[in-house]
Amino acid sequence: GGTAAFVDAEHALDPVYAEKLGVQMEDLLVSQPDTGEQALEITDMLVRSGAVDVVIVDSVAALTPKAEIEGEMGDSHVGLQARLMSQALRKLTGNIKRSNCLV
């Protein structure tokens, strides 16, 4: 009976299908960020707000760093996503513990 948020990094949420599965779409907070940084900032803001009980991120693999999105095809972006996730998790961990939110 809590509040849930869905961070749709894949931009693939199908509201009709979700409702068929029992999701009450009118009660679900949905965000469709453009970059991995944006998705993780939104997640952190939701956690810190204390207004949500659960945050779903779909999916970690789709959290593409801004530099990769804005770069040219073939550019090397070795370790960017790993660095992004590492920094975000260090930041999120304490906030999650304080808010008792499930991510």
**One digit per residue, pLDDT tens: the chain, 103 residues?**
899 999 999 999 999 999 999 999 999 999 999 999 999 999 999 999 999 999 999 999 999 999 888 887 777 777 888 999 999 999 999 999 999 999 9
Strands 54-58 vs 4-8: parallel, antiparallel or unpaired: parallel
How far apart, in whole angstroms, are the C-alpha atoms of residue 86 and residue 41?
Answer: 14
Task: Specify whether the CB–CB gap between 48 and 38 falls below 8 A.
Answer: no
Asked if residue 37 lies in contact with residue 13, where contact means CB atoms within 8 angstroms, the answer is no
Q: What pLDDT, on the 0 to 100 scale, is given for residue 75?
A: 75
pTM: 0.90
Pick the CATH number of 4-99 from 3.30.70.1290, 3.30.1540.10, 3.40.50.1000, 3.40.50.300: 3.40.50.300
